[in-house]
Chain A
């Protein structure tokens, strides 16, 4: 075992290098395998007939004309497919009494959101299928639709009348009950008499993941197995769901996620369209293909966020926090999607963030509405939590009258205090918030920008400068299976890896993580190259195919490296362990006299050695192995993490706000993230940049908007504002390194960090720019209109549904300060 333990320190040649990606050659030359590029011979194409109504009874479906159209093979309804269509599962019922409607891939007699599939056309070409879809005559009897959380909470109009309520589940965590802290209500009551109470209600607008590759699925039932190619993040989970809900044996289903064009959580779903394609392929016996249009994607692929957050923070007059109470209402949409209900629960442990709250109460009420179902979107629960607490800390700083960084430093966990058990019951293994903040301030030029802000304010400049702070942490690396079990999640959180030593000395690495742009092939090659002392180019990483990588739990929750990478390390270490006795035998030495060093087994004190590739070749030939040793040095490992993983960082944003027009402009953005040891700095930088822009986009541009009838009015890229290159700036990104203590490589997840951190930094900056004008909140996205209204009317800029305020005092003007207590 010494041989193994020595390996990582001695061989960090690849880890830390800015390797250019192995993936890139095919992607920059167009030799790609997107699902939509695949068309097996004889493929038939699907077009979905979708409901234009948010809520309606289906009174009749006449498919005659469509069926008679040229080159149409069949037109099928829910009744036609029956049980063969399976069901869309909810893998995370967050409470035992959760109310959830059955979710059939094709609606049977009632539709619950605009865009829901009511029939499917099968034709020889996609264009003919789409033409015929227009000919399907569906009669609807419109029902009242419930849109928006506030309406849903009233239970007057029901999204699913048969359920009797829109309220799906109430999930509660209380630190006093859990024994992890005090009573939040007591802390708030005390602060009302002699401290500070900050009460706010924030809106997390609904977002759309908007991966660039529209979803596509090809199902080929030819032969003994049914092969499914899908633009999915979760081939393994999809295979399980297909088998579990259709009765087809899992062993008869092969799911392949070929090149997948982004996901961001949006492809973490078992979709109705996948189920329909699977059912149609089985029924007709020919390959079936369905590729959505962008407009279909925006209305039918799951949405994210969508919460109202009622927040109460208690503090002493000097700004020391004493309690936090969080009451969320979260919109599930029309159905409880695969982990839809669980998303806000993932945030439940993060509202206390990096601060030492002595008391904490969290409650989340999920509701059903007649809108597209929601589920994970980059960060999933944690951006919402981080936004709330980082906005509140700025409000607290304003109340105390100190710099936002000062109030944070007063309350954060100091680096000497790790490992630290939080009021939410998590154990943070490592971190150094002071260091990251110092470095970020320097990178940003914090003091100089504060001076400029003062100068502009004194001068009465019509363009004001605001500085926004976000000192975030997150829990990622999903997840310890035992904890998932305690949270009633339907599966585990382990990951699997295999290392296969080929006869030619090359190494095949199989991972159960399924990349869709993250660069696993490169980063995992670096890890294995170092671990086994082989060349980076000699490592081939295979993934995303349930036949090649039979075990896996896929990619989401910043888990690939910290869970999947650790599985890989353990598999590689097992290879070395298995190779050692064979190498010793071949070297005619005792096992105790042989050590593994830089890719070779060497007899200690001599020049006699064998490269691991040579051992692999000798093992393949198997002519001369020790007695009783199997002719294989391949190894598998399945790693179940013991804890989550806690990256953190300090993000600083400078925004310029034109007080006459409300226009906002990003001036500078600097961040210092601590993600532990870095495998490939280039890939990390890309993850950070992309994450930042998605978070900034929530702050400034994106929102999925429904009208009162339940029509998604931001249903195309004309209306849903993805940022362009011209909207964004270049960022200053740096790192501090506090290695994680719960995986051998000391790594922390980075995939979601930028998105989690950036949104509050931007909004804090915008508010900071105009706080002196009496503004303490602007609802996201901070459009010029909202900013202008906030400045001129003292509101938060107005909501897109109902009134954002007042919440605590019905007589107060909407958006006026709701801070109360003796400190106010």
Chain B
């Protein structure tokens, strides 16, 4: 067992973990951060994507001990929605553009999209598609996910003149 200290979604946590424990297992099984999910065992699908010190990582590909001292943000910490806070613009864009169906890939897809937009605030469609290449979705055909990222980019660039054609109704 190895002692690790880290910050997850703004909270300081410490635990003794087996050296072989993956970060995603630590998040899910020890911290109850079940918003982050496991979709494969070959680091292909990206469903487990979180931010580790501001960079998107597949948390199935990081050992918990490697996160010692780090700051981790999961889908659950992206926006303070529990306190009645607003959704992160990328979360809102996914909802607005119907960028999810079953929702299983969505936490990873959103975390990757947030990272992508931080690196490149105005990506082209091709840049979005390449930027999401490491995240698999089986429901949407990616069409509306790409639209969601474009929408989020437009919103944050202040290009609200081209605001969503349809207003939020629900």
Contacts and interface: CB of A to CB of B under 8 A. Distances in A.
Contacts of A689: 140-144
Contact of A725 (B75, B87, B132, B169): B132
A17 interface: yes
A233 to B, nearest CB: 11
A694 to B, nearest CB: 7
Nearest to B131: A725
Contacts, number: 193
Given A36-B37, A294-B45, A725-B129, A516 B102 contact: yes
Interface stretch (B51-59, B105-113, B155-163): B105-113
Given A20-B169, A29-B35, A30-B35, A262 B42 contact: no
B139 interface: yes
B141 A212 contact: no
A263 to B, nearest CB: 8
B79 interface: yes
Interface stretch (A159-167, A357-365, A714-722): A714-722
Contact of A295 (B20, B41, B96): B41
B101 interface: yes
B139 A517 contact: yes
Contacts of A592: none
B134 to A, nearest CB: 8
A214 B98 contact: no
Interface in A677-728: 682-683, 685-687, 689-694, 716-718, 722-726, 728
A261 interface: yes
A725 B133 contact: yes
A697 to B, nearest CB: 9
A34 B146 contact: no
Interface size class of chain A, counting residues whose CB lies under 8 Å from the partner chain:
35 or more
A294 B42 contact: yes
Contacts of B81: 25, 29
A499 B18 CA distance: 51
Where chain B touches its partner, the secondary structure class is loop
A19 B169 contact: yes
A293 B25 CA distance: 13
Contact of A690 (B41, B129, B141): B141
B125 A27 contact: no
Contacts of B79: 29
Interface in B118-170: 125, 128-130, 132-147, 166, 168-170
A212 B170 CA distance: 27
Contacts of A450: none
Interface in A171-193: none
Given A29-B81, A30-B75, A725-B142, A24 B100 contact: yes
Interface of B: 18, 20, 28, 33-42, 44-45, 47, 74-76, 78-79, 81, 87, 91, 94-96, 98, 100-107, 110, 125, 128-130, 132-147, 166, 168-170
Query: 10 closest pairs, A vs B, by CB?
Result: A30-B35, A517-B102, A27-B103, A261-B104, A693-B141, A717-B44, A689-B141, A294-B40, A37-B34, A30-B75
Interface of A: 17-32, 34, 36-37, 127, 210-214, 259-262, 264, 293-295, 516-519, 522, 536-537, 682-683, 685-687, 689-694, 716-718, 722-726, 728, 730-731, 754
